Structure 1
Amino acid sequence: MKLRKKSVPKPWGQITLPTLFGGKQKEKIGEIWFLPRKGITPTLLTKYLFTSEKLSIQVHPNDREARRQGMPGGKEECWYILEAEPDAILGIGLKKEVSATKLHAAVVCGQIEQLVDWKPVKSGDLFYIPAGTIHAIGRGISLIEIQQNADVTYRLYDYGRPRELHLQEAITVATPVPYDMKHFSETPPDQSAKLIDGPHFRLFQVLGDDQRLLKGVAAGEWQIIPLEGQVVARDKTIGPGECGLCTKASEINLSKNIKSLIACSMK
């Protein structure tokens, strides 16, 4: 099926989106979500993000921590960078390992920005963000985010914006260490590849009608995000700026595909 689009206003979003998403907007749009019809709750959630300012410094709990708080599950995610301005940066992990006490002090004293490890970013970069990773997306970036379908974010710091912070919850679930660069890769521009093989989902880059990577994968669901060309999922044509959902790899027709991202949730 073809998922419906939902535009989500954000204070750090952009007024002018790509033509695929309607160009100039009446308010700042930070995210485009892809949602199913009522009665269906996908395991994964796919989003496009567009930033004109830094996002909050935040962290997500893992499944066990989230369930302790009465939520159905935690949140791990990945970022596929579509475009980035020359000075664009991402904050992922810390420059050095610190204790929870020192992390708390850095937030209270307004020093958390200096503690976060801000990394330069460019088109084609891919970052997997395990639960517990302290992170923030910088300005001037367009990306695709694929995540566990859980709305659970704890903000450590938000640059003085009038939004709720969750200091104690964030410090409790945070892993205050440098980011492990094994979770980073530069996506190959001219070949199909398995980009992520995580505990909750896998992500593939598929060029043309190359089905080899999808065969034999025991997945709960598949989400298709065409970047160039079209993909047919359960007889629905999905194009760039859209997202499709199906339950079997055999329901994905790549005959008109040029380049797509395909994510699957793990059973």
Structure 2
Amino acid sequence: MVEKVWGRDCLPAPFSAPPGKRIGEIWFEPPPELPEVLVKYLFTSEKLSVQVHPSDANAIDGEAGKEECWFVLDATDDACLAIGFEREVSPAEIAAAARDGTIEQLLTWHPAKPGDFFYLPAGTVHAIGPGLSLVEVQQNSDTTFRLYDYGRPRELHLDRALTVSDGVPYDPRHRGRVASRGQVLIDGRHFRLDRVEGQPDLATCEAYVGALLALPLEGDIAARQGSARAKPGECLCASSLEDLDFSGAGLTLLTRAA
């Protein structure tokens, strides 16, 4: 559990925040079998900073590139995610708006509902609004450059952020709803993410050869050998999809490295 200024002191079941703690993230530390992918739960009560991440190609000085995606689990009626800009903007416009606080008005705020999915290529300027519970799947990197943080006393990284930010609108092809996207949510350059209900179908099984993470959202999954089992709020690592028993599963997210 990771404390954040924008986190919650009351988490949705099955989680529970320690007394006096505002928990914003719950990490599943990448296992040795799958070091490239990091899976988190995120819980927001306030806006996150306006931020951006570098790609592997433009990371410098020991930084690591970071692409990520969000699967919305729960949202208040007015919950939104800021992703990309309303129009093409120059680095100078981004810098001026970040300094005077008007960058929020330059961004596109997308309404977010349970079942929505958003993929964020590196370089996408973004912020998460309050009232959201998300699963985030990302490259295993914590490289974040903040452009604006609502006056909070945290470090900003404007110069570095401007060198990696894409001043363009968000590509609508990178978002969708489960009902319209099918099982494969993303099959990208760095990781794949699938949503399955019950037993994975043949195409999913063929796509998951090698180490993977399974995150049950309903029901539970178990290892075919041994006693390992995961229920909602937990994450199971397996050397292959064939090693997992989905007989008790409902809705599950599966992910692996590309």
TM-score by length of 1: 0.90
5 Å-filtered alignment, 1:1-267, equals 7-22=1-16, 25-35=19-29, 42-66=35-59, 68-71=60-63, 73-188=64-179, 193-217=183-207, 221-233=211-223, 235=226, 236-266=228-258
CA contact (8 A) 1:192 1:210 kept: no
Deviates more, 1:22-31 or 1:199-208: 22-31
Q: Deviations over 1:83-107 (max 9, x none)?
A: 1100111100000111111111111
Q: Deviations over 1:103-161 (max 9, x none)?
A: 11111222111111111111110000110000000000011101000110000000000
Query: What code does the residue aligned with 2:215 have?
Result: I
Secondary structure of the structure 2 residue equivalent to 1:188:
helix
Q: Is the 8 A contact 1:206 1:261 kept in 2?
A: yes
Residue segments in structure 2 that go unaligned for 5+ positions in a row: none
Q: Residue deviations 1:53-110, cap 9 Å, x none?
A: 00000000001212x3223x31001100011100111100000111111111111222
- Write the letter of the residue equivalent to 1:133: T
Deviation at 1:218, TM superposition (A): 6.1
Unpaired segments of 5 or more residues in structure 1? 1-6
Pairwise CA distance, 1:245? 1.3
> Is the 8 Å Cα contact of residues 34 and 212 (structure 2) preserved in structure 1?
no
CA contact (8 A) 2:215 2:234 kept: yes
Q: Deviations over 1:197-220 (max 9, x none)?
A: 111111111111134232222655
Q: Is this contact kept in 1: 2:28–2:235, CA < 8 A?
A: yes
Paired AA for residue 35 in structure 1: E
SS of alignment partner, residue 215 of structure 1: helix
Moved more, 232-241 or 7-16: 232-241
Give the Cα separation in 1 of the matches to 2:246 and 2:34: 25
Q: Deviations over 1:149-191 (max 9, x none)?
A: 01100000000000000001111001011000100010129x9
**Count of residues in Structure 1 that have an aligned counterpart in Structure 2:** 256
Q: Are the aligned partners of 1:156 and 1:165 in contact in 2 as well (CA < 8 Å)?
A: yes
| Offset, 1:23 | 5.5
Q: Give distance in 2, aligned partners of 1:84 and 1:230.
A: 23
**3-state SS of the aligned residue for 1:228?**
coil
Report % sequence identity: 48
Q: Distance in 2 between matches of 1:220 and 1:63?
A: 23
In proportion to residue count, which structure has more strand? Answer: 1
- Partners of 1:62 and 1:219 lie apart in 2 by 26
Runs of 4 or more above 6 Å deviation? none
Distance 2:30 2:205 in 1: 25
> Structure 2 CA distance, aligned partners of 1:259 and 1:137?
24
- Alpha-carbon distance, 1:252 to partner: 2.2
